Structure 1
Amino acid sequence: MNQSKATAIGFCAILLWSSIVGLIKEVSHSFGATMGAALIYTVASLFLLLSIKWTPLSKFPKKYLIFGSLLMVSYELCLALSIGYSENSVQAIEVGMVNYLWPTFTMIATVLFTSKKANWLIIPGIIISMLGIVWVLGGDKGFNVSEMMAHIQSNPLSYGLAFLGALLWAGYCVVTIRLSNGANGIILFFMIVAIVLWIKYVLLYDQSEINVSFPSIIYLILAGAAMGFGYAAWNIGILHGNVTTLAGASYFTPVLSSMLSSLLLSAALGLSFWQGALMVCLGSILCWLSTKKFKK
């Protein structure tokens, strides 16, 4: 496969991932937070099995099998349930934006726990990303800490899970770099996520009303495809495409995700939200640039 084609497939992954927030919320409307997430990861696992070669367990370093699966599974649970437990469409998009702190956190963790070096740009990058979240959660008032706290207190579970998820993904990336030895565990990890969610659903029976309809089935298939094929496409992109181009493009995912989610969920987002979303993107890009070596 030539590099241009692989890079284009990588871009498809960014588009698919950008639709995740809206699709998860739509599925949770019909099936509830827990059952909806369990169904999504079950479908995603099937799509992954059809599109990526299964990696035998013997190929995994034992430490990566333990710590990688723990971090990845925990992250995916936080992502799906934080959106599923959101109280309305706008809150779901806000929660998704909190989760998009992961590029910034990943760069910080990479610099702290690997041999990667960063220059001074990482400091303004971190500050701008965090200010962007404050701006998003400040509502129409923009930078307003008291309004942000009011938002968080209205649903601390969703916002807390989203923030924890961003930290967990950063940890997963570092563990993958240091321990994976090239093993791709995404199919295994997604299957474990699905199993854990089904166990949660059975043991802690979710009383959410289930409304199965043709549109809900379509949303479920689309969500599973976006999850599964998104990871499959990204895998092709980073293995055979232009990694630098894909990495740079991925930092615009928060804005693209918000656009697609607002259209899918028919949610009106104010100017302050978009200002905050752009700040999150800018902060992430600065963190990314801080690790680059520029020619003199």
Structure 2
Amino acid sequence: MQIKGERAATACGLVAILLWSTASGLIRSVSEIFGPLGGAALIYSLGAIMLVMFLGRPRLRSTSSFYLIIGTALFVAYEVCLSLALGYASNSNQAIELGVVNYLWPCLTVLLAIVMNGQKARWIIVPGTVLALFGIVWVVSGNGLSLPAIMANVASNPLSYSLALACAITFALYCNVTRRYAGGQSLVGLFFIVTAALLWIKYGFSSEVLPAFTLGGGLQLLAAGIAMAGGYALWNIGIIRGNLTLLATASYSAPVLSSAFAAVWLGASLTLQFWQGAVLVTVGSLICWLATRERSASQTK
């Protein structure tokens, strides 16, 4: 897949965000059918096959050893944490909430880009990021802004919430490491293969048993595989050749899209406060985007 030009690469990244917006709901529904480990292993196995078919085998010789090791480790850690966080959620509502916690990664990506890659941004990116973070806290709080409520919510399933937080950190690191060290190469196919292998190994040591395949389950698995594989193939193009800050800030809108899709797909009923928090995340993203646009405009004068 040859993509030339920053605008085209950035467009690929934006399409990836749309695909990912369906991923959380699909991963959760697949895990309900095939189990947290078995479902995740099937998704990444199918995704790996798709990526190799459409992108070809990963080219390792032209990739630095540092990126091969660190990039793989960060990607696999993120995928395993995300799949298990959603799979081990107590119910569909909590799975959607965990998906929003995972979306701390866009603001962390911007902040790490400033530190790691010398990304320049105007000061108003700070209130935009704060507003987005507050939106996530508002979602997790559940009923008003209460620290005890937040703590109780997290304590109800500390494993899943810890995994969701780990997702945000590892993927923000992955985006910046990929931008700096990938050298224009996309190893997402390799990453999916390693992720699938690790999940199958963990599945082999678990007590899970895969149920018989049905048409409905197979179609949901196929949709999840397309969403994940297609999303990552396009996202890697975006962060390697596109506008990383624009993609990271645009990603703030994903919690709204993802939550809306998951609510419909999983039949979950979300509270007004949840949607308020999701809207705050989106508004924060628009402020961040305004900051980057203003800076670009000033540089062209």
* TM above 0.5: yes
2:56 is aligned, of 53, 58, 75, to 53
1:192 is aligned, of 173, 194, 204, to 194
Structure 1 position 224 matched with structure 2 position 237: no
Aligned residues: 294
Match in the other structure for 1:251: 252
Report the residue type matching 2:202 in the other structure: K
- The SS at the match of 1:252 is helix
**Change in CA separation of 1:287 and 1:244 when aligned onto 2, cut-off 3 Å:** closer
**1:242-282 per-position Cα deviation (integer Å, ceiling 9, x unaligned):** 88876654331110010000000000111100111122233
Matches within 5 A, 1:1-296: 11-139=14-142, 141-203=143-205, 205-207=206-208, 210=211, 212-235=213-236, 249-291=250-292, 293-296=295-298
Does 170-179 or 157-166 show the bigger shift? 170-179
Q: Is the 8 A contact 2:175 2:239 kept in 1?
A: no
Report the residue type matching 1:103 in the other structure: P
Q: Is the 8 A contact 1:98 1:133 kept in 2?
A: yes
**Change in CA separation of 1:23 and 1:251 when aligned onto 2, cut-off 3 Å:** same
The structural deviation recorded for 1:10 is 5.0
Does 208-217 or 49-58 show the bigger shift? 208-217
TM-score (norm 1): 0.89
Report the residue type matching 2:82 in the other structure: L
The structural deviation recorded for 1:136 is 0.5
**Change in CA separation of 1:157 and 1:244 when aligned onto 2, cut-off 3 Å:** closer
**Change in CA separation of 1:118 and 1:100 when aligned onto 2, cut-off 3 Å:** same
**1:65-122 per-position Cα deviation (integer Å, ceiling 9, x unaligned):** 0111111110111111110110110000000000011000001111111211233223
**Change in CA separation of 1:281 and 1:211 when aligned onto 2, cut-off 3 Å:** farther
- In structure 1, list runs of 5 or more residues that go unmatched: none
TM-score (norm 2): 0.88
Separation in 2, partners of 1:5, 1:65: 26
The structural deviation recorded for 1:158 is 0.7
The structural deviation recorded for 1:127 is 2.1
Does 71-80 or 224-233 show the bigger shift? 224-233
**Coordinate RMSD, CA, aligned:** 2.6
Q: Is the 8 A contact 2:107 2:248 kept in 1?
A: no
Q: Is the 8 A contact 2:250 2:289 kept in 1?
A: no
**1:119-139 per-position Cα deviation (integer Å, ceiling 9, x unaligned):** 322322332222112210122
Does 67-76 or 5-14 show the bigger shift? 5-14
Separation in 2, partners of 1:125, 1:159: 24
The structural deviation recorded for 1:283 is 2.9
Q: Is the 8 A contact 1:16 1:227 kept in 2?
A: yes
Q: Is the 8 A contact 1:125 1:283 kept in 2?
A: yes
Q: Is the 8 A contact 2:179 2:240 kept in 1?
A: no
Separation in 2, partners of 1:263, 1:16: 16
**1:6-57 per-position Cα deviation (integer Å, ceiling 9, x unaligned):** 7766554222210001100001101110111000000011111122133321
Does 46-55 or 147-156 show the bigger shift? 46-55
The structural deviation recorded for 1:241 is 8.0
Q: Is the 8 A contact 1:135 1:144 kept in 2?
A: no
Separation in 1, partners of 2:123, 2:246: 22
